[in-house]
Structure 1
Amino acid sequence: MKKFDISVLSVAPLRQGETMKEGIESAVSLAKAVDKMGYKRIWFAEHHNHDAYASAAVVSIVQHILANTEDIRVGSGGIMLPNHSPLVVAEQFGTLETLYPNRVDLALGRAPGTDQKTAEVIRRSNHNGVFFFEREVKDILQYVGDESIQGEVRAYPGMGTNVPIFVLGSSTGSAKIAASLGLPYAFGAQFSPHEMTEGLAIYRENFQPSAYLQEPYVMACINVIAADSMEEATLISASHLQVYIDIYTNNLSQLIPPTENFLQSLSQAELEILYHRLGYTLLGNADTLRRDLIEFQQTYQVDEIIVISNIYQSKKEIHSYEILKRVVDELFDQKLHEES
C-alpha cells in the first residue's frame, strides 16, 4: 500500500451560539492541536454570506493561524479565484510567504463559494469567472515565479516567492486543468464522491511534468468522524451529517449538538442526500478506521488525504483527529516493520 500524508480542511464553523470571534478561536485551537500531532497542513475554505462559517476572509484566517502555530503548513482550501484579482492573490500570498517562509499553501478553486446574488456583489457584475480559471491560475504562477518569467506588471511581494499552488476540484474539468499545468490536484470527495474515480484517472493520464511537479500528486478530501467506540462515533457524526443536509436544502445553520437516533429522524429525501453526497465518510473507532483507510488507499493510491470533521464538541473533534493520526502512524510503522 502506498504511503500517504494526512492533512486537515476547515471552514472555521461556528457552533450553535458562538460568536464569529469564538469561531475563529476554535479554529486556532484546532490548528494548534493538529500542529502538535504532526499533521502536514491545514487549509481553510472560502465561503461568503453564511453566518455558520468564519472563513470568508481566508487570507486573514491563514495569517492568524500561521502566527499561532509552529510547524504545520497553512493555506487556502481554497481561494475561489472568480472572486479575486490574480495579482492581488499573488501579492497577498507572496506577503504571507515572505513572513512565514516554507509554510504557506495556495489552493485555488473555480466555484463561487456562495450563492449567485452574493457572487455578483463580490464581483460587482454577473461575470462568470469560471471560464477564465485556467488563464488566471497561469497568471498567479507567473506573478509568484522567478524574475525571468515576469511581465510588465509584477507582484510585490510575490515575485520569486514560488508559493506552492494546488488546483481544487470535484469534476473532470478541474482535473484536466491541474494535469495540463503540472500542478497538484486536490479532489473534493467529501461532497462529490461519485466523480472521483474518473477525475483522478483523467488527472493521472493527462499529467504534464512541469517546473512544479515531475509526477502527479493526488490529494483527496474525505469526511472522517472517529471516536473510542462505534456508538460514540455514530452519535457525534449527527452534527456533521446535518451540515450536509443543510447545504443541499439551502438551510445552512451553525453546527448543532448531536442527537441520538439521528438517521431514523430523517426523511427519505434527506437520506438520499447523505447517500449521494457522503460516499467517502469514514466513521468509527480505530479498528474500523484502519480497515476503511486501507481499503480507500488500495483503491485510489493517493499521495495525501485531507480530512474534514464537523464535530460539535471541540474536545471530541480534536480527539477524532488524534485517533486518525495514531491509526495512520501505526499503519505505516507496521508496514515499515514488515518490510524490514
Structure 2
Amino acid sequence: MTEPKNTSRAQLSVLDFCTIYEGETPQASIQHSVDLAQRAEELGYLRMWYTEHHNMPSISSSSPAVLIAHIGAKTNSIRLGAGGIMLPNHSPYVIAEQFGTLEEMYPDRIDLGLGRAPGTDAQTLGRALRRDYNAAERFPEDVRELQAYLADKSPIPGVQAVPGAGTNVPLYILGSSMFGASLAAKYGLPYAFASHFAPTHLEQATRYYRENFQPSEVLDAPYVIAGVNVTAGKTQDEANELFEKVCFNRVRTMVGRGRYLTDEQVEQIVATPQGQQVLDMLRYSAIGTKDDIRDYLTDFQELAAADELMISLQGTSRASTLQSLEILADAWGTK
C-alpha cells in the first residue's frame, strides 16, 4: 500500500454521513453526496469515505458499497471508501466480493475502513440485522479472513472471492479506543481514529499505535488518520451561530432517538450532564473563518500526530456544508 506523505501539512479527506437535512428526502441527501464528492475532487481532497449506520432517520448511508458504486460513476479521480464497514454485521467473504467489485469498477480508487461497532441501536442489531451480539469478539479473525480473500489466499479450499481475489483493496482499522490502535499496530495496517465523535483516547491511542507498529507486507511505517469536525463561515459570528445550531441538533437527535423534543426540552437537556456528554463528542471542532480553521487544524494535526485529517463537515444544510468544504480547501491549500 502506498500512502501519500506530507511532512508538513496533512492531507485532507472528507467523511460523508449522507445526511438527510430537515425537510429533505434520502434521494436529496444522496444527490448532495454526489455534489459534495464532485466538488471535493475539484478542490483537491484526497478521498471521500462513507459511514455504515442503520435505523437513523437523519443518515442515509446504510449501504456504503452501493453509495460508492453510484458516486464512483459520477467522479473521476478522488478515492472512495467506507469509513467504515462494521465488519461484525457481515460475512468477510461478502465484503470481499463487494469491495472487490468496486475495485474492478474503479481501479486504484477504493479504500475499505473496518470497524467493530454495530452502527445502530440494540433493537436493530438483534432483531433486524440478526447479528450475534458476540460477533464483535471475532473482529481480529474476520479482518484476517477478509484480507486473505482480497489477497487471493482464501482460507477455505475451493472458495474464491470473485471479484475480489487479487485486488488487495487497502484495509484501514477504525477505532476510538486502545483496541483498534493495538490491532492496527499488530497487523501493520493504517489506523483511523474517530476523534470527530469519540475524543477521549486520541493522544493515547495514536501514540501507542506509532510506538508499537509492526511493518507488514502492505505498510512499512505507521500511518495515522484522525477525525476532526469543521464548521467554517465567512465571519466568526456566522460560524459560531452555525455551530450552535449543529450542537442543538446533535443533542436533539442523540437524546431524542426518534422522539420529538421541543426547543425548550432540548435547552433543558443541554444543561444536564447527559447533554454535556453529547456536546463533548464534538470536542475537536474547528470553528470560524479561513484563518481560524487553518490555525486550529495545524495544532490538531500536531496533537494527533496525524498523517491525514478526516474532516467531518458540520452544517445544517447542503449550502453550509459546501461552504465549509470550500473555505477549508482555501485555508489548507488542498490544490
Identify which range, 160-169 or 296-305, moves more after superposition.
Answer: 296-305
Q: What's 1:80 paired with?
A: 86
Measure, in 1, the Cα distance between the counterparts of 2:167 and 2:34. Answer: 26
Q: 1:226 to 1:210 in 2, by over 3 A?
A: same
Q: Of 275, 290, 296, which aligns to 2:294?
A: 290
Cα deviation code 1:117-141 (max 9, x no counterpart): 1111344254321100010011111
Cα deviation code 1:89-122 (max 9, x no counterpart): 0000000000110111110100000011111134
Q: What's 1:338 paired with?
A: none
TM-score normalised per structure 1: 0.89
SS in 2 for 1:168: strand
Deviation at 1:60, TM superposition (A): 0.6
Q: Of 144, 154, 158, which aligns to 2:160?
A: 154
Q: Of 166, 175, 186, which aligns to 2:172?
A: 166
Measure, in 2, the Cα distance between the counterparts of 1:14 and 1:28. Answer: 13
TM-score normalised per structure 2: 0.90
Q: What's 2:8 paired with?
A: 2
Conserved 8 A contact 2:150-2:161: yes
Conserved 8 A contact 2:88-2:136: yes
Conserved 8 A contact 2:81-2:113: yes
SS in 1 for 2:201: helix
Measure, in 1, the Cα distance between the counterparts of 2:91 and 2:71. Answer: 23
RMSD: 2.4
Deviation at 1:253, TM superposition (A): 8.4
Are residue 324 (structure 1) and residue 324 (structure 2) matched? no
* Paired amino acid for 1:289: I
Measure, in 1, the Cα distance between the counterparts of 2:211 and 2:310. Answer: 22
Deviation at 1:40, TM superposition (A): 0.4
Q: What's 2:53 paired with?
A: 47
Measure, in 1, the Cα distance between the counterparts of 2:73 and 2:94. Answer: 21
Q: What's 2:3 paired with?
A: none
SS in 2 for 1:222: strand
- Aligned pair count reads 325
SS in 1 for 2:325: helix
Cα deviation code 1:239-270 (max 9, x no counterpart): 4323432454242589xxxx9xx989942446
**Percent sequence identity over matched residues?**
38
Q: What's 1:65 paired with?
A: 71
Gaps in structure 1 of 5+ consecutive residues: 334-340
Conserved 8 A contact 1:224-1:308: yes
Are residue 218 (structure 1) and residue 244 (structure 2) matched? no
Cα deviation code 1:14-50 (max 9, x no counterpart): 0111111111111111111111111000001011011
SS in 1 for 2:107: coil
SS in 1 for 2:228: strand
